[in-house]
A and B are shown apart, each in its own frame.
Chain A
């Protein structure tokens, strides 16, 4: 994944609005959500949503320090 400077005002407004509404910019699948959350927490990552059941998946959301919320999820039963 590549993170680049966001100099486009339109893109920045969209990015900030997503964050203000608590909407993740993207999502990544994890094989072990609990372990991933623990690993990230140990490195100082701040979560906005602790691991939570959401139907067919279990999700967690954190701030990536670049102005985005990132969701990680694990399908239930895996």
Chain B
């Protein structure tokens, strides 16, 4: 059984795995902090979280990379190296496997602010500001105008 204390220690290890990406602690060190041998730590971690500690860290790195690609100005190579990936090749391969496109394609096609249609408050602000509202407004599903 996973005792509450062991669960808390595993959660703490997961938090470190997900947050300490640039200068990560070794799995052996995390196991020691959790009070377990390394093999037992990996077994217990996988049984609770459905992934090994290394898989957990890789997933977190890829998600951070995606965030950096979307919002940062660093080059793809810099992002790759800063997050500790072995090479651009392995980074691209893992990124594509997880997100369905290469890092370059993601930055080109998926990143950046997506224009969102104004909601009710947006339309009201536009009207109050005196901005001319386009004649053709989006239509609600029932065919009524949304403003």
Contacts and interface: CB of A to CB of B under 8 A. Distances in A.
Contacts of B8: 20, 22
A65 interface: yes
A32 interface: no
B47 A46 contact: yes
A44 B7 CA distance: 16
Nearest to A63: B48
A20 B50 contact: no
Interface size class of B (residues with CB under 8 A): 10 to 19
Nearest to B51: A65
Nearest to B1: A47
7 contacts: A16-B11, A19-B7, A22-B4, A63-B2, A65-B48, A66-B50, A67-B49
Given A19-B7, A46-B2, A48-B2, 14 more contacts: A16-B14, A20-B11, A22-B4, A22-B8, A44-B47, A46-B44, A46-B48, A47-B1, A47-B2, A48-B3, A48-B4, A63-B2, A63-B48, A66-B50
